[in-house]
Structure 1
Amino acid sequence: MAFLPDADLQRLERRLTPVSFEIGDVLMEVDAPISRIVFLESGLVSYVTVMEDGASIESLTIGPDSAVGLMGGVGAPRSLRQAIMHVEGDGFAIPTSDLLAACEESAAIRDMAVRANMVTTSKLLQSVACNAKHGLEQRFARRLLACSDASSAKRFALTQEQIADTLGVRRTSVTAAARTLKNEGLIAYRHGRIWVEDAAGLEARACECRAAIRAELDTLLPRRESSESRAKAG
């Protein structure tokens, strides 16, 4: 929402309600009406695809750079995937009907919704390429950095089973990748929690997709300087 001019941001703020989520909370069910859109200030949400054997595979992640259910803001009637909180966090929710009305009233809000959905689509397409091209350790590093970006916490409650499901690999493969990153001094883990020891080193270890997604975000949703900031600068 930092993309919006002050007047349009204030138009939305009147309709927002604070929300908070714990790990495992379900924000949307698959094929359910999109009744609200959630703008995260912190936390990370996984969109998951459930296979015939019951396995849940992460298809997409949404953090503070986008919003959960935003397709509803451009008229999509139902959710395509289940959305589950992966890293605890908070933010603001708005009824879908209110955002649709705001999009009718404001070209800037409508443009924000379209651009944010483009960012989400770009992330999804980049993830498809990433899964086909890049190694597990690179993808693991990118995932941990995404968790770090989305939270002020230094440690994350992530088990190796959860990471394996997220990355669509076997648990033994995650164990080996985690051991490698730990031996390099990049991460540490204990009792179902993991934390970043060397963010710069982990950044260098991550695949190119992290930088590509960030560049796309900066292009599609550049932050506007608020009137308060402009006044201080003047």
Structure 2
Amino acid sequence: MSVTVAESLGRNLLLRALQPADRALIAPHLEPTELARGAVMFAPGDPVSHITFPCDRTVVAMAITMLDGRTAETATVGREGAVGGVVSQGYLPAFSRAAVQIGGPALRLEAGRLQAAKHASRTLRNLFTRYADCLLAQLLQSVACNALHPIEQRAAKWLLTLHDRLSSDVLPITQDVLAEMLGVRRTYLSGVLRGLHERGMIAVTRGRIAIRDRPALERAACECHGRVRRHFEEVLGAVYLDDGTLVAVDPAAAAAPADGKPPHGKAA
């Protein structure tokens, strides 16, 4: 079911973090849309003409596909952020593929509209720069994780990342999709998930993976999930509940300080 812009503004945490004056700069130009699961938003080489803000449980995965057809996820974006020309002037060719992992509502903004708003407002520009810093941190951590950590830790990290964004213990994700995102064969992943299942951390059913013991899953994961979370908290003001749910972005933390520097001296 489609939603209006007014209904969706508070359902994306990056938009919620905007100051009222900044929100007024872009709200008239936001377009509500529904993203279908599996839809490719852009592929390598495509011009990126819009910024998309996932709302509620909508999740988009960015991935790189090699010449031999193998694919690996580089970043996951949900209601905490945006996909597209966040930093650039827009219309530049995409480097990765962005595909809808969990379908649902979203808001779209033409790239030129965001650039005009950035030129008009320092605080809006500062917020999107901070978000870009956090997204870059996620990408850099993903590179290190893929190179250094075993598949069980990476699978646990990936499940925690999705759990953060959905506010639900039941993750509507198949083993095929998870295997593709992790860049491994499904048969190999099945053995990894069976081990997590036998240790009581998850329950695997057809087309679903349910989180049963999040604290244990956090212990089984590598440090990458926690490092990215802390960076979002410190740079963007994101707030996580004890169960891992990402619930808010603090507008005060998201606003530009008087000296224009990020809080705590943080940078990617």
Structure 2 unaligned spans of 5+: 1-13, 238-249, 254-268
1:12 maps to 2:26: yes
State the shift of 1:30 in Å. 1.7
- Equivalence for 2:37: 23
Q: TM-score, normalised by structure 1?
A: 0.88
SS in 2 for 1:27: strand
Q: Is the contact made by 2:63 and 2:98 (CA closer than 8 Å) also made in structure 1? A: yes
Extract unaligned runs of 5+ from structure 1.
Answer: 227-234
Instruction: Tell me whether 1:224 sits opposite 2:238 in the alignment.
Output: no
Q: Larger deviation: 148-157 or 87-96?
A: 148-157
Q: Where does residue 139 of structure 1 map in the other structure?
A: 154
* Aligned partners of 1:87 and 1:156 also within 8 Å: no
Structure 2 matches for 1:192-231, cutoff 5 A? 192-222=207-237, 223-225=250-252
Distance in 2 separating the partners of 1:132 and 1:50: 16
Q: Deviations over 1:198-220 (max 9, x none)?
A: 22222222221111101111222
After TM superposition, the structure 1 = structure 2 runs for residues 89-104 of structure 1, keeping only pairs within 5 Å, are 89-104=104-119
What is the SS of the residue equivalent to 2:108? strand
Task: Give the Å deviation of 1:125.
Answer: 0.5
Equivalent residue number for residue 176 of structure 2: 161
- Aligned counterpart for 1:110 among listed residues 111, 125, 135: 125
- Preserved contact between residue 87 and residue 150 of structure 1 (Cα < 8 Å): no
Which residue, 46, 67, 74 being the options, matches 2:88?
A: 74
CA deviation digits over 1:104-145, x for unaligned, max 9? Answer: 111111112222111111111101111122221111111112
What is the CA–CA distance in structure 1 between the aligned matches of 2:156 and 2:70, rounded to whole Å? 23
Stretches (4+) displaced over 4 A: none
1:54-84 CA-partner distances (Å, limit 9, x unpaired): 222222222222210034x532522111100
Provide the secondary structure at the position in 2 that maps to 1:68. Answer: coil
2:99 aligned partner, one-letter code: I
Cα pair 1:46 1:58 within 8 Å, conserved: yes
Provide the rounded CA distance (Å) in 1 between the counterparts of 2:50 and 2:180.
Answer: 27
Question: Residue 45 of structure 1: CA displacement?
Answer: 1.3
- 1:153 Cα offset (Å): 4.4
Cα RMSD of the aligned pairs, angstroms, is: 1.9
Matched length: 225
Give me the whole-angstrom Cα distance separating, in 2, the residues matched to 1:20 and 1:205.
35
User: TM-score, with normalisation over the residues of structure 2?
Assistant: 0.77
Equivalent of 1:150 in 161, 165, 178: 165
Q: Secondary structure at the match of 1:34?
A: coil
* Partners of 2:166 and 2:155 in 1: CA distance: 17
Q: Is the 2:72–2:181 contact (alpha carbons within 8 Å) kept by the matching residues of 1?
A: yes
